């Protein structure tokens, strides 16, 4: 049983005004097969948490631990984290000129499984997954995310999620900017991955609407760099009605 | 992240602003079209270079002064050649009738070479079978040299001619390329000079009726390397593919001024240059002029330049120009884009399990191999892929 554990995490970034602490003591434990929703207002540090788990060099961990099955994630390079089974679907996926999606996916798959995938099944896997995500086959030969619309980029993230089969995926506002059809398609992809591989999910979102399609086991309300409240699915319903105002007032006082 | 600009020009009569050009007799002559540029084979006809001239303004003229205005050694030099059926190589005198057939200098370094060469090297191609020929120049020495080469492809002949340049050099040269009717010729000029080499080259191609000319400029090594190929599509249905790939390291200046003159009707041209830049002071220049003359009806033309910036401290200039003097064409367009390979791209690739080294190789190899794959000389292509990888492994990584 795989487990991703975050304890007492403090993270800073360098800004023009100097060092700024963004995460102020985050505790989270995600087990294989669990879906955790992290909900919070803009600027509360959700992306910072996502990037820190993935190892983005801009973010400095000053205190706390992240472990994957007991292994120290913070000691690993970005690529080693991915090979250990972590995946980040980015809020703003990056365009890579000169590299086709096909070439990228094959290189990533080879890096993660330590050997090149068997050609026949791999090509079939890509084709089938793209079809399920309603991605035109031309996206295979296009450069990674180059000229993709916002929604196409998000689907491309989920394509990678389904093909690379990580143990844990952090989805950073994968729902933002999607119309309802695209939202359903992307949600189905996440649910497939969860069913097929026992994926653990950290679903970061600003809105509750994706939770109609992806049912979280746990909901964490994230405010001002820490978890302000935790509960089950019912907490999301309450947020949908009340918004974040209650928490923002508390945060201002604190 | 990525800055890109792409544009497609519509046919209009005059694309250039009218520039003043001093000329003794007429006071001033407006030079609108590229074909109206001043030409002379005599170096004395060109005034001293200031660095402000259109043809020099991107070039570090102080580094190539010896080639622009210095005394040049114009004697024959040693070369290596792989024997091939249907290809001969010979030195000829200045009075050879083929000299000056394909073009004449438009700037001072080119004229300096023309005035200085004692004998011209002629590579003659005959025979309809495909063949590959490599001429290697690796012992030109460190003195300033002027050279003249003629590559002549007989009607219906077919060949790939590779000019492989390495070692030391201070060379200004003119290469005339003459394609007879229906000839199919590829000329590849590979610059893998030593770090201190200076090389200014002008290639003048004249392409006959239904002939196909592929020109490839590959510049990897040298201090200042400027390859200016111009192709004159003379005959009806002439076709040219002009390709270039370059990789500039710290302090290197790699430049190419490409010119296609659609003179005859129903010609086709494709110009595609791609370059990578890495390291402090790495500098590249691409200027692409396409002129579609009044008789060039049915022309189909497209030119593009793409640059990939790998580190800070580099500069890539990219200037496409299109002049169209007939409304009756199939199409003409140009595109130019300079994109940055930055830390966010590196992070993205690494976050998918790909190591940092592999990530860089993936991006640069993918970007440049589009050109390398089109050369049509498998052994050379393989070697160039390795040479590009070697350039990459010399990358000082960000933050190290
Ligand atoms: N690289 C950075 N440089 C400077 N400030 C940053 C950086 N990343 C995040 N921040 C700041 O940290 C706070 C949290 O940002 P973020 O994690 O993106 O929040 P969220 O994803 O919840 O909207 C914001 O105030 C943001 O401006
Ligand atoms: Mg965010």
Spatial CA neighbour of A165 closest among A127, A118, A109: A109
Using DSSP, state whether A71 is helix, strand or coil. Answer: strand
Identify the band that residue B190 occupies on the pLDDT scale cut at 50, 70 and 90: very high
A31-48 pLDDT, tens digit each: 999 999 999 999 999 999
B157-169 pLDDT, tens digit each: 999 999 999 999 9
A141-151 pLDDT, tens digit each: 899 999 999 99
A205-227 pLDDT, tens digit each: 988 999 999 999 999 999 999 99
Cα of B300 to nearest chain A Cα, Å:
25
Structure-token match 């590579």, residue found: B123
> Cβ contact (<8 Å) for B1 and A95?
yes
**B354 closest CB neighbour out of A54, A95, A108:** A108
> Cβ contact (<8 Å) for B363 and A96?
yes
Structure tokens of A182?
A: 């695209």
Q: What is the mean pLDDT of residues B375-399?
A: 81
Structure-token match 């201190």, residue found: B196
Instruction: Please answer whether residues B223 and B59 qualify as being in contact, where contact means their C-beta atoms are separated by less than 8 angstroms.
Output: no
Nearest Cα residue to atom 4 of ligand 1 = A15
- DSSP letter for each residue of A203-243: EEESSSGGGGTS--SEEEEEETTEEEEEESHHHHHHHHHHT
Q: Which atom of ligand 1 is found nearest the CA of A49?
A: 17
**B351 closest CB neighbour out of A54, A99, A103:** A54
Spatial CA neighbour of A71 closest among A60, A81, A62: A81
Q: Say what the pLDDT of residue B26 is.
A: 39
Q: What is the mean pLDDT of residues B188-209?
A: 98
For the domain made up of A3-253, give the CATH fold: Rossmann fold (3.40.50)
Within its chain, how far is the Cα of B277 from the centroid? 17
Distance CA A166, CA A197 (A): 8
A62-87 pLDDT, tens digit each: 999 999 999 999 999 999 999 999 99
**A98 closest CB neighbour out of B344, B367, B399:** B367
Distance CA B136, CA B144 (A): 18
Structure tokens of A79?
A: 């690529």
Which residues, other chains included, contact A231 with Cβ-Cβ below 8 Å and sequence gap of 6+? A218, A219
ipTM field: 0.96
Q: Say what the pLDDT of residue B330 is.
A: 95
Distance from Cα A47 to the centre of ligand 2, integer Å: 4
Q: Say what the pLDDT of residue B394 is.
A: 67
- A20-29, B10-19, B302-311, B337-346: segment of lowest average pLDDT: B10-19
Beta carbon of A17 within 6 Å of any ligand 1 atom: no
Beta carbon of A205 within 6 Å of any ligand 1 atom: no
Q: What is the mean pLDDT of residues A155-166?
A: 98
């Amino acid at each position: 049983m795989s487990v991703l554990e975050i304890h007492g995490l403090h993270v800073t970034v360098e800004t023009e005004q100097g060092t700024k602490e963004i995460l102020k003591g985050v505790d989270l434990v995600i087990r294989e097969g669990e879906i955790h929703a992290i909900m919070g207002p803009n600027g509360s540090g959700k992306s910072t948490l996502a990037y820190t788990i993935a190892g983005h060099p801009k973010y400095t961990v000053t205190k706390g631990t992240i472990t994957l099955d007991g292994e120290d994630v913070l000691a690993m390079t970005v690529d080693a984290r991915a090979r250990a089974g972590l995946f980040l679907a980015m809020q703003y996926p990056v365009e890579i000129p000169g590299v086709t999606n096909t070439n990228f996916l094959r290189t990533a798959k080879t890096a993660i499984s330590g050997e090149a995938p068997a050609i026949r099944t791999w090509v079939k896997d890509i084709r089938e997954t793209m079809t399920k995500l309603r991605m035109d086959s031309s996206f295979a030969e296009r450069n990674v995310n180059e000229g993709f619309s916002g929604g196409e980029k998000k689907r491309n993230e989920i394509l990678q999620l389904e093909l690379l089969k990580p143990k844990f995926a952090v989805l950073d506002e994968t729902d933002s900017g999607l119309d309802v059809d695209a939202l359903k398609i992307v949600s189905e992809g996440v649910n497939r991955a969860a069913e097929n591989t026992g994926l653990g999910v950290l679903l970061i979102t600003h809105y509750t609407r994706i939770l109609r399609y992806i049912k979280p086991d746990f909901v964490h309300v994230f405010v001002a760099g820490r978890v302000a409240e935790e509960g089950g699915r019912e907490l999301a319903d309450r947020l949908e009605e009340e918004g974040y105002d209650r928490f923002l007032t508390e945060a201002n006082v604190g | 992240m990525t800055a890109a600009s792409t544009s497609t020009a519509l046919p209009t009569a005059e694309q250039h602003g009218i520039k003043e050009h001093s000329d003794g007799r007429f006071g001033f002559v407006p030079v609108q079209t590229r074909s109206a540029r001043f030409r002379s084979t005599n170096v004395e006809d060109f005034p001293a270079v200031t660095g402000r001239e259109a043809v020099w303004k991107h070039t570090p003229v102080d580094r190539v002064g010896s080639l622009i205005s210095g005394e040049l050694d114009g004697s024959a030099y040693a070369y290596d050649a792989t024997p091939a059926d249907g290809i001969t190589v010979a030195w000829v005198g200045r009075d050879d009738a083929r000299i000056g057939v394909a073009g004449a200098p438009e700037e001072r370094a080119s004229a300096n070479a023309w005035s200085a060469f004692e004998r011209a090297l002629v590579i003659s191609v005959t025979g309809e079978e495909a063949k590959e020929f490599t001429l290697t120049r690796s012992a030109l020495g460190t003195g300033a040299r002027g050279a003249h080469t003629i590559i002549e492809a007989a009607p219906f002949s077919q060949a790939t001619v590779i000019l492989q340049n390495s070692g030391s050099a201070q060379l200004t040269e003119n290469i005339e390329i003459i394609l007879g009717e229906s000839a199919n010729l590829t000329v590849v000029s590979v610059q893998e000079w030593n770090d201190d080499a200076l090389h200014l080259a002008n290639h003048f191609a004249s392409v006959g009726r239904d002939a196909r000319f592929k020109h490839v400029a590959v510049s990897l090594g040298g201090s200042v390397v400027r390859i200016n190929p111009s192709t004159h599509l003379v005959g009806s249905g002439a076709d040219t593919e002009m390709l270039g790939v370059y990789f500039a390291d710290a302090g290197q200046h790699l430049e190419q001024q490409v010119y296609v003159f659609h003179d005859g009707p129903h010609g086709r041209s494709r110009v595609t240059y791609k370059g990578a830049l890495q390291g402090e002071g790495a500098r590249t220049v691409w200027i692409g002029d396409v002129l579609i003359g009044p008789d060039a009806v049915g022309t189909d033309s497209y030119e593009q330049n793409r640059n990939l910036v790998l580190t800070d401290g580099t500069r890539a200039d990219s200037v496409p120009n299109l002049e169209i003097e007939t409304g009756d064409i199939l199409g003409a367009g140009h595109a130019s884009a300079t994109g940055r390979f930055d830390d966010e791209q590196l992070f993205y690739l690494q976050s998918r399990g790909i190591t940092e080294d592999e990530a860089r190789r993936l991006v640069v190899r993918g970007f440049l191999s589009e050109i390398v794959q089109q050369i049509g000389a498998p052994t050379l292509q393989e070697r160039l892929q390795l040479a590009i990888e070697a350039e990459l492994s010399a990358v000082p990584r960000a933050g190290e």
